[in-house]
Amino acid sequence: MATSQLPLTGGPSRSELLRAASDPTSPAVFATPVGAIEVQITGVEEIGSDGTDFTVWGHLESTALKGAVFTGNYNCAARIGRLALKTASGR
């Protein structure tokens, strides 16, 4: 498995993030330096007690890397973060 980092430059509010995590038919959309991506969030965990920082898990729903799994962090107040994508070698 190869791992690559993808910076997030925009994304959902806290309520939108939690809705996407609880509804498998509702992907979350994040902005990146190379365009928007859709992701299916399969897990979310709050970091700290301010309610703005989260660890997220899931997989990509769009782009050529559709299906790639990720772990990431995201700040709902600043709407920034990053995803660590895990893809099969050679993709």
- Taking Cα atoms as reference points, which of 62, 52, 45, 70 lies closest to residue 15? 52
At 55-75, the pLDDT tens digits run 999 999 998 889 999 999 999
State how many domains the chain has: 1
| pTM reported for the whole predicted model | 0.89
Question: Token pair of 40, please?
Answer: 């299916």
Checking DSSP bridges between strand 28-32 and strand 80-87, what pairing results, if any?
A: unpaired
Residue 1's pLDDT is: 58
- CA–CA gap between residue 22 and residue 43 (Å, rounded): 9
Contact between residue 11 and residue 75 where contact means Cβ atoms under 8 Å apart = no
Query: Domain limits at 25?
Result: 2-87
